[in-house]
């Protein structure tokens, strides 16, 4: 896979993963902060969900540690809200007054773990490690897909139409028939598609189309 990365200021030092801690109790925040920092991870502390939504987060792998009981909003509702806003950071819940339905709801909504207080330090660290790993996976997949999407965005309307039919398995003359073009024109568009998408073989183009979920004609 060719990563078509955009121009960046070249971050020399790779930042450590970031753990966002959301809890209304300062003592809990501080305690988690030192625990997380002790294993070399960066932290960001918030006393309320709203604070998190305002500031933007750095572009590094990470996760969120979220108390279920928060000022103004349930942690579970906040989970939904984050999802709706496209913030896909994995969430580790913790709670002092949890029950089974809460746990089920959180896990169904994609939480990595759900820890009842009191929990052992190691439990939290394991959950955070798993969450960060999940985020790393997701970021990798997203980055590769973004490159594909931006390449696909450079195609003209016609080129996209031709690509759609080509990856569906139609021959050039068939594409020409469907689109009301001559075969030579289809060939030219097809060549442009291959060049712009940065592939040399039809097989690669088909795989790209699959990843992009190019609509069937």
Partner DNA sequence: GTCGCTCACAAACCTAGGTATGAGCCCGAC
Partner DNA sequence: GTCGGGCTCATACCTAGGTTTGTGAGCGAC
Which residues bind to its own copies, rule: CB under 8 A?
A: 95, 98-101, 103-104, 107-108, 113-116, 166-170, 200-204, 206-207, 210
Helix axes 157-167, 183-197, angle to 10 degrees: 90
CA atoms within 13 A on the CB side of 87: 21
**Which of 52, 73, 56 is CA-nearest to residue 64?**
52
Element spanning 210, H or E: helix 202-212
Query: Which x/- pattern, by CB under 7 A, does the window 76-115 give for DNA?
Result: ----------------------------------------
Helix, strand, or coil (residue 93) = strand
Closest contact distance (angstroms) between CB of 1 and DNA is: 20
Nearest residue to 32 via CA among 13, 53, 46, 17 = 46
Could you say which of its own copies, DNA, none residue 116 binds, taking C-beta under 5 to 8 angstroms by partner kind?
its own copies
- 130-169 positions binding DNA, by CB under 7 A: 156-159
Distance CA 45, CA 51 (A): 9
d(CA 70, CA 86): 21
Closest CA to 174 of 160, 193, 155, 161: 161
Q: Which of 57, 107, 143, 171 binds DNA (CB under 7 A)?
A: 171
Cα separation, 125 vs 208, whole angstroms? 37
Least distance (Å) from DNA to the CB of residue 151? 13
Residue 157's binding partner, choosing from its own copies, DNA, none, with beta-carbon cut-off 5 to 8 A by kind? DNA
Cβ atoms of 145 and 137 closer than 8 Å: no
The least distance separating its own copies from the CB of residue 64, rounded to whole angstroms, comes to: 17
Among DNA, its own copies, none, what does residue 187 contact (CB within 5–8 Å per kind)? DNA
CB 206 to its own copies: min, Å: 4
**Smaller CB distance to DNA: residue 64 or 186?**
186
One residue of 44, 69, 134, 187 binding DNA per CB under 7 A: 187
Residue 56: left (phi > 0), alpha (psi -120 to 50), or beta? beta
Which listed residue (64, 103, 172, 208) binds DNA by CB under 7 A?
172
Binding residues (CB under 7 A) for DNA: these are 156-159, 171-173, 176, 179-182, 184-185, 187-191, 194-195, 202
């Amino acid at each position: 896979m060719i990563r078509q990365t955009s121009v960046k200021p070249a971050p020399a030092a790779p930042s450590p993963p970031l753990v966002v801690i959301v809890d209304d109790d300062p003592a809990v925040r501080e305690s988690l902060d030192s625990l997380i920092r002790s294993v070399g991870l960066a932290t960001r502390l918030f006393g309320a969900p709203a604070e998190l939504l305002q500031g933007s987060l750095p572009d590094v792998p990470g996760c969120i540690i979220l108390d279920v009981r928060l000022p103004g909003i349930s942690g579970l509702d906040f989970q939904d809200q984050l999802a709706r806003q496209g913030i896909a950071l994995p969430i580790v819940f913790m709670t002092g007054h949890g029950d089974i339905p809460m746990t089920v709801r959180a896990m169904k909504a994609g939480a990595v773990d759900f820890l009842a207080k009191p929990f052992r330090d190691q439990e939290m660290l394991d959950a955070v490690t798993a969450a960060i790993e999940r985020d790393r996976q997701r970021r990798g997949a997203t980055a590769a897909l973004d490159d594909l999407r931006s390449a696909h965005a450079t195609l003209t309307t016609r080129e996209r139409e031709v690509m759609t039919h080509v990856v569906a398995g139609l021959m050039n003359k068939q594409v020409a028939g469907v689109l009301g073009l001559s075969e030579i024109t289809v060939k030219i568009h097809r060549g442009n598609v291959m060049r712009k998408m940065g592939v040399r073989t039809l097989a690669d183009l088909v795989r790209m189309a699959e990843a992009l979920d190019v609509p069937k004609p």
